[in-house]
Structure 1
Amino acid sequence: MAEHTHHLRYTLTAAALLSLLATGCASQAPQGKYVDGIHQVSGKGKKSEITLEVEVKDGSIQNAVTKSHKETESLYLNAERLLPQIVKNNGHEGIDAVSGSTYSSNGILEAVNKLPRTDGSKPEYQSVGASEKQQDEFKLKWSIQPQLGLIKGDYYYEEARFRQGHLGSMIIVLDSANPEDVILAEFKESGRPNYYTRLYQDVPKRMSEYNFSMGKKKGTAWVQSALTMEKMMVEKDKLTFEPNPDYDPKLANKLNQPNRLKYLELDIVAGASNSIQQSMVPLTAKIYDRINDGGTTLRMYQNAEKMLDSKGRWTGLTSVLRFVVDTGSQEIVDVYYDEIFADSKSEIRDASLKKYYRQSKYDSINYIEPARIGFNVMFDGLNAHVKNGGSIFDINDLPATGDSGSYAQTGFTKRSDSWDRYLEQAQLLYKEMRADKVVRSHN
């Protein structure tokens, strides 16, 4: 009996021990980070609450999508790139905000922080900024480089103010021998005179700092849409666009919805859609009507050349000169000269000029002309001089064409090298125009 009791006690003790071990192992088994299920969580963005729908399985995030938000659409699309990172990372920890979309990024990350956790904890969310690497790198890409060599053809130009007063202008150049062939399309816009940031009042947008400012704020640069449209016009010889029958103005800020646009075939446009719809397309339509209503007597002659150093290496700048001549009167009615910086810093040899990449000397707000006078002032003066009947070669009375040495007396200190490059280009184009018998003699 005693032996049986001893055996029973041993059996019960062993069973209890096994049960205890099993219970202990179960309590130590990994439960995963988050509670399984489909959760809706929200965080505060810049303009609104951002709500996500997050699917969790076996304690890990399987999918995360946006349920609702009222942020600026372009900024939110930029921030929304964090969602795949969050899924891969199984949480928001260690993820930086997207540069240019910091508030929306933090709204997304804060929402993820509110997912219910298996351990019951509710950690306080700490806002994050963009990484230094993101801030130093500008990931948007575009090219402002002009077509090298000679371009000439029938010239059409229209300009008009739109919206709150922005000035849009459109140039179309057709092959003189084949008027259905579009060989150049160029859209420009200057900020309205009462622009909310004084820095960009009446400032050209195409090749200025404006594109970087807008790109950081909205995730797309103004010029990108203009370049995309210009490319389509030239490649397809297309100057008219049909109205979109399904246009819905309520979708204006929904960049992934084609029916936000007034015209068909504009779904290639991301940023600057107002500029394209309210200025570029209407101005081009006016030009199209003029083409079919008698054409033009104006012809454009343009040449662009890479600027080389003494060793024949590209300096990272390209000079471009454009003359518009009235073939009836043989007078030059418009002159445009500019020097355009390369698309990347690495291509610009002079270290002091690298910061002006993807800008031009004429459009840039911050470019400092060595002659100590505005580059735009110099060549606006040239344009006015020629329009008033002056010779394209007689520039001696224009700013920074001589070595004054006295900034106080003349407003400049020395002759600008840009005048020498202009004169070289002018000789080339003048020779071409004279050969075509479209311009009077200039001495």
Structure 2
Amino acid sequence: MKKSYLFAVFILCSIIGLSACKPDQRIETEASSTSVRPPLVNESSSESEAVLPSEETKNAGINDLSFEDTSYNYDVVTGATQTTFGSNPKPLYTYEEKLKKMFWSNQPPLGLMEGNYFANDGYFDVGNKGIVEIITDDTQKIINVEFNEYGAENYYASKYAGANKRLSDYAFFQAQNPRTDTTLVTVVNGITFVEKQMREENRITGNFETVKGSSTTAREGLMAIAAELAEEIKQPSKTKYIGYAEDFGNGLIGRIQLTVTDGTIDSARYDEYFADQPEKIVADHLKKYYRQSKYFSLEYHEETKDDFIAFSDHLTKAIVDQQTLVFENSEFTKHPSFASYQKLIEHIER
């Protein structure tokens, strides 16, 4: 009798347990296979990476630039939105599924850029640092607006404390978070969307549309810090900008940037950007760094023991110290990236 009673209880519990599991199993299946929004990127531009062929870039004139031109289907807002930070929504996709749906670009404008140079920085949100750079031509037309955000020193994800969010793997970190499942956007989407509006509308003040789910950096960072330059950019700047970027055709884009005041080079920067799509990167061991740059990729630093940073820092320091772009028989001229640097400076007259 006792055995029969225990057996009956076991059967009853099993039925209840199985019944309780079914809704969760069904929800997970539906969530992973159901799209909650239209595709982020229009089909016609899904493979887009606005790269001029190398010869066209070389032959283009000053400020005849090529900007990345993927067409997005963003959900946009015209005001501040409530943050989802701290929430813990149920995942709608696996990470692999999300990467197929999401897209953002790290590509710099290609070609030769020259003009008046303006820069401003500030802190926002929880201590993140923002730096905005604006280039205008002689008619005060905006040629480029570029914003970079660096994680606060006490950032909750310590890996990204002080890290460049645009050119490191930070956007992939965001892509892994279920909070981006419904919007399918990262901080890079939010930044580049507003930069494009500022450039095309030739203004840095007033209201701009922002990407839903990525508006804090755009509104509290880029828009606020840029607006402080509104009066300054109406006049020529004593500091001039000279920059050149070129797609090398192997999945890497080289970029040299200089600021010059009264004929003296004030600053120099050299970086190489990995392509937006891994299949465009020829070297297999570099494919995993797509949408990042050699100078700011945290994983690339670790794997190469900061080799590129050391090269770039030595090179750019020598440019400023010696006031020249041409070097021979220096230690850094033996570095593999020096040949790429030499290709770029052929297009800059000094």
Instruction: Indicate whether the TM-score tops 0.5.
Output: yes
Secondary structure of 1:104's match? coil
Work out whether residues 95 and 175 of structure 2, in 8 Å CA contact, stay in contact via their aligned partners in 1.
Answer: no
Give the direction of change, closer, same or farther, for the CA distance of 1:359–1:172 in structure 2 (3 Å limit). same
> Which residue identity lines up with residue 160 of structure 1 in the other structure?
G
The Cα of 1:225 is off from its aligned counterpart by: 0.6
Look up the match of 1:193: 153
Instruction: Classify the secondary structure of the residue corresponding to 1:318.
Output: strand
Shift in Å, 1:385? 3.5
Distance of aligned partners of 1:103 and 1:164 in 2 relative to their CA distance in 1, 3 Å threshold: closer
- Could you tell me which residue of structure 2 aligns to residue 273 of structure 1? 215
Question: Could you tell me which residue of structure 1 aligns to residue 309 of structure 2?
Answer: 376
CA offset digits 1:165-221 (Å, max 9, x no partner): 211000111112x11x21111000111112122211111111110011112213221
Counterpart of 2:193 in structure 1 is 228
| Shift in CA distance, 94/214, structure 1 to aligned 2, threshold 3 Å | closer
Whether 1:140 aligns to 2:102 is yes
**Structure 1 match to 2:227:** 285
The aligned amino acid for 2:108 is P
| Equivalent runs, 1:159-178 vs 2, <5 Å | 159-176=121-138, 178=139
Question: How far, CA to CA, are the matches of 1:131 and 1:357 in structure 2?
Answer: 20
Q: Residues 243-262 of structure 1 correspond to what in structure 2 (within 5 A)?
A: none
Q: C-alpha root-mean-square deviation of aligned residues, in Å?
A: 2.9
> Is the contact between residue 371 and residue 416 of structure 1 (CA under 8 Å) also seen in structure 2?
no
Q: Deviations over 1:422-443 (max 9, x none)?
A: 13322421x2xx4xxxxxxxxx
Unaligned residue ranges in structure 2 (runs of 5+): 1-22, 36-83
Please report how far the alpha carbon of residue 131 of structure 1 lies from its aligned counterpart in structure 2 after TM superposition: 4.9
Q: Is the 8 A contact 1:301 1:322 kept in 2?
A: yes
1:269, CA displacement in angstroms? Answer: 2.4
Task: Give the number of the structure with larger relative contact order, counting CA–CA contacts within 8 Å between residues 6 or more apart.
Answer: 2
Q: 2:241 aligns with which of 279, 294, 300?
A: 300
Shift of 1:300: 1.1
CA distance in 1 between counterparts of 2:329 and 2:169 reads 32
Shift in Å, 1:387: 3.6
How far apart, CA to CA, are the structure 2 residues paired with 1:272 and 1:168? 15
Counterparts of 1:387 and 1:165, CA distance in 2: 31
Give 1:96 deviation, angstroms.
4.3
Give the conservation status (yes or no) of the 8 Å contact 1:369–1:375: no
3-state SS in 1 of match to 2:90: helix
Of 68, 89, 92, 1:104 maps to 89
Secondary structure, counterpart of 2:259 in structure 1:
strand
Instruction: Tell me if 1:344 matches 2:277.
Output: yes
Letter of the structure 2 residue corresponding to residue 169 of structure 1: I
Amino acid at match of 1:231: K
- Does the CA-based 8 Å contact 1:303-1:321 persist in structure 2? yes
Letter in 2 for 1:105: K
Shift of 1:389: 4.7
Q: Is the 8 A contact 1:190 1:203 kept in 2?
A: yes
Change (3 A) 1:315 1:105: same
Q: Taking structure 1 as reference, are residues 271 and 388 closer, same or farther at Cα in structure 2, changes over 3 Å only?
A: farther
The Cα offsets for residues 212-252 of structure 1, whole Å up to 9 and x where unpaired, read as 111221322111010000110111112111xxxxxxxxxxx
| Residue identity matched to 1:189 | E
Matched position secondary structure for 1:377? helix
2:73 counterpart residue number: none
Residue 95 of structure 1 corresponds to which residue in structure 2? 30
Q: Partner of 1:320 in structure 2? A: 255
Q: Which residue of 2 aligns with 1:24?
A: none
1:120-149 per-residue CA deviation (whole Å, 9 max, x = no partner) reads xxxxxxxxx8558526x4421122222222
Cα distance between partner residues in 1 of 2:201 and 2:275: 27
The reply to whether residue 214 of structure 1 matches residue 140 of structure 2 is no
2:96 & 2:124 partners in 1: Cα distance?
Answer: 38
Give the whole-Å Cα distance in 2 for the aligned partners of 1:351 and 1:94.
34
In structure 2, the CA distance between the partners of 1:334 and 1:133, relative to structure 1 (3 Å rule), is closer
Corresponding residue pairs, total: 270
| Residue identity in the other structure for 1:197 | A
Provide runs of 4+ in structure 1 moved above 6 Å. none
C-alpha displacement of 1:93: 7.3
Counterpart of 1:364, as a letter, is S
Matched to 1:166, the amino acid is N
Measured in 1, the distance between the counterparts of 2:127 and 2:28 equals 45
In structure 1, the gaps of 5 or more residues are: 1-85, 107-128, 242-263, 308-313, 403-414, 435-443
Alignment partner for residue 237 of structure 1, among 183, 194, 202?
202
Task: Measure how far apart 1:288 and its partner are.
Answer: 1.4
The aligned amino acid for 2:195 is E
Question: Is the Cα–Cα contact under 8 Å of residues 191 and 201 in structure 1 kept in the other structure?
Answer: yes
Conservation of the 8 A alpha-carbon contact between 1:97 and 1:105? no
Counterpart Cα distance in 1 of 2:28 and 2:156:
37
Q: TM-score, normalised by structure 2?
A: 0.69
Matches of 1:132 and 1:239, distance apart in 2 = 36
Q: Given the superposition, is the C-alpha separation of residues 94 and 159 from structure 1 closer, same or farther in structure 2, using an over 3 Å criterion?
A: closer
**Using a 3 Å threshold, how does the CA distance of structure 1 residues 96 and 269 change in structure 2: closer, same or farther?**
closer
SS of 2:326's partner is coil
Contact 1:215 1:222 in 2 (8 A): no
Q: Which residue pairs with 1:424 in the alignment?
A: 343
Q: Is the 8 A contact 1:305 1:320 kept in 2?
A: yes
Distance 2:28 2:108 in 1: 45
Shift of the 144–132 alpha-carbon distance from structure 1 to 2, 3 Å rule, reads closer
- Contact 1:370–1:416 (CA<8 Å) still a contact in 2? no
Aligned residues of 2:118 and 2:134 also touching (Cα < 8 A): yes
**CA distance in 1 between partners of 2:89 and 2:302 (Å):** 39
- % identical equivalent positions: 28
